[in-house]
A and B are shown apart, each in its own frame.
Chain A
């Protein structure tokens, strides 16, 4: 293990330890916020694997998040499935969908790939309405509090209890962070980066770039699906909004803000964007009471500023300037 590896491992361990410690010190509001943000950061990490490392800009990742949400939510709501079975169902739905979409969409590149993924996501969004008698379309479905618990012997783990929910979100986040960390440092991760930098040359070196991109797509979809399933189980609601284009743009923005192709960038981006949106309401109310700017307006402004001035995001800039060892 090199000193570079040691620093990276220490940093990731430190982040997980810090998040664990925050459970005990955060005020109630921020504690609840961070549980939600950790799940959304998992979504962003899944997106980052494909966009940041493999260089494939998808505009349709809401479909994988939604596949996780509906894959878990529909059997819980209609058939009374338990939490673990529902989670696996959501994860499987997103993984299979990512494989199928990958097989088709990866035949395209660049702008065409963006459009194809966006179109598939739009199909997914409309399917939610098409099967409205099952999904209740835009209104969506609520999973009751009592159903969001795990029975372990005589003990019941209530996933709506704030500490349990936080720790569950942190567990998922930690697993995905460590898996991502291992993936991007493996030879597979290096092949993805090579594809991003020059796909033709990578192919010339003998790598099957399609297969590698497909694996990246499936892993990315699976992670996003896990986030969706966890979101449903921890927060109890699924609706078509989560399948809309907005939820394809948001992970892109979180990743761009935090730093694409950095393992911790998605967390940084998701946290900052949440508080930017949350705080902007008060700032706008105080300093620009007449401006009816929505939180999406803030998101849009942030995206423009990012693209213009910080194309590598926060951790990307830090890596360039001060910490070359950041994975």
Chain B
């Protein structure tokens, strides 16, 4: 679903991502873990066509990232870190707009939005503004934004940052169910290691612009003789990944 070789991105003299290789198979939930500033978001924004890589090759959802970015956009969903709706807009209106930009007709869009809101425990919330929603509800609206066109591949950038533990667990449930029901591939970033452990089939640890370890949570723990992913992280980077560093 994702095949990336030697992906780099520089901002002026700063090399934010320094030669990343990523392979993700269909139906996997893959966690992209690393401290703030490690290059997670930059990588994600490259894979979702929002940033042009400085060098490398990449196929995302069977489309070449460089020659067919429109094809990539049609097949993927992307939920950015910072949210998707302003505080004053009705979320139904915004969701219908987004669906129509993905080519759904007006009636299809309305139907799809109603359905998705039900699935995400937000039934009947169309008229509410983002300002009237809780953090967890808002995040689920963001996720709905990425699901309108039934993408094969969903990118989630720090989906649970700033959520209380209960909302986080609830969101994990939704992600698992999506994969189970539609076989969707999910690529998400997080800096909660126990989240990656609980939710992801496979984990890529990125530090300072390069991937320093990858494998299933069990493989990683075994390889580093560690009981938790926190210990794995400490072993491969020599540092602690402080939890909730940027809420």
Q: Do the two shown chains form a genuine complex with each other?
A: no
A interface residues, Cβ below 8 angstroms from B: none
